[in-house]
Amino acid sequence: MSDTSLPRPALGVGALIGDTVRVFFSRIVTFVVLSLLPTAITVGVQVLILGVGAVVSPGQPGLGAVSGVGLVVVSLTPYLALAVFGAAVAVAAHDTKTGGTGTILGYVRAGLAQVIPLALCNLIAAILIVVGTSLGMVPGLWVFAVFAVVAPAIAIERCGFGGLRRSMDLTREYRWPIMGGAILLFLAMSLFVVLMFGVLTPVTNAIAPILSVVVIVFISAFSFSALFIWIGLLYARLRIIKEGAPTENLEEVFG
């Protein structure tokens, strides 16, 4: 049992932001791949069910021409892909921070193994965040802070539908700093995107248009990864503060 007479360790908001950038660039290929796969899978499913024409041409029949199982699959694929690959990025960030050397396949398998609790718990958290936001920005951010580490808790600890409660326990006493960190992360990401588009895109367009595509892909990958990397690092930090260190056999988790 922890000694309550000791001062509470700081979360380290600035350090988490800096680590988010460092972790991304330390395994940039891993995070770019994990970030692009949700879109690739979503588009692939749409092509298989709707046909190429409906995907590339807005004038072609779309969801309105699909019914039954096809409609359910097309509708759920983006949400499930986000749940799985968001968790995979968070797990990869946690693994990187703690010195692990997992693989892309292992991270994806960690998300896929818990896809149902991830999807349902994320949905519940999202609904509560929307309700909080309807009352004001601060309540919305507060609810986000409460459930910030649901994904890595479920994917790494395999706690299933207990992920909501686990996140509530881990974030308790640190929700204000988590809110501040989320705001700083958003501002940093916005600045990064503006600079990348404003500075690099004109240059790459002048050199070769294909380079602009590469820049856009990189920006999209970073934008997707940054939040979930931060969540994975936040989860690792909270566990170190409250429990000393993660205790799971991460090789088993990723295997």
| Contact of 44 with 73, CB cutoff 8 Å | no
Q: In angstroms, rounded to a whole number, what is the distance separating the alpha carbons of residues 155 and 166?
A: 12
Q: Quick one: 113 exposed, middle or buried, by C-beta within 10 A (0-12, 13-18, 19+)?
A: middle
Share of the chain above pLDDT 70, in %: 82
Q: Quick one: 137 exposed, middle or buried, by C-beta within 10 A (0-12, 13-18, 19+)?
A: exposed
Q: DSSP letters along 137-169, please?
A: HHHHHHHHHHTTTHHHHHHHH--GGGHHHHHHH
List pLDDT tens digits, range 3-46. Answer: 555 678 899 999 999 999 999 999 999 998 998 888 888 878 87
pLDDT along the chain (255 residues), means of 10: 64 92 92 89 78 55 58 82 94 91 92 95 96 94 96 94 96 96 90 77 70 73 89 95 68 51
Q: In angstroms, rounded to a whole number, what is the distance separating the alpha carbons of residues 234 and 40?
A: 28
Amino acid at site 37: L
List pLDDT tens digits, range 182-203. Answer: 999 999 888 888 877 777 767 7
DSSP-based three-state secondary structure for 210: helix
Structural tokens at position 61: 């029949």
What 8-state DSSP symbol labels residue 244?
A: S
| Contact of 87 with 111, CB cutoff 8 Å | yes
Q: In angstroms, rounded to a whole number, what is the distance separating the alpha carbons of residues 2 and 29?
A: 40
| Contact of 229 with 24, CB cutoff 8 Å | yes
List, in order, residues 6 or more apart from 151 with CB less than 8 Å away: 83, 86, 87, 90, 118, 122, 163, 228, 231
Considering the entire predicted model, what is its pTM?
A: 0.83
Q: In angstroms, rounded to a whole number, what is the distance separating the alpha carbons of residues 94 and 234?
A: 9
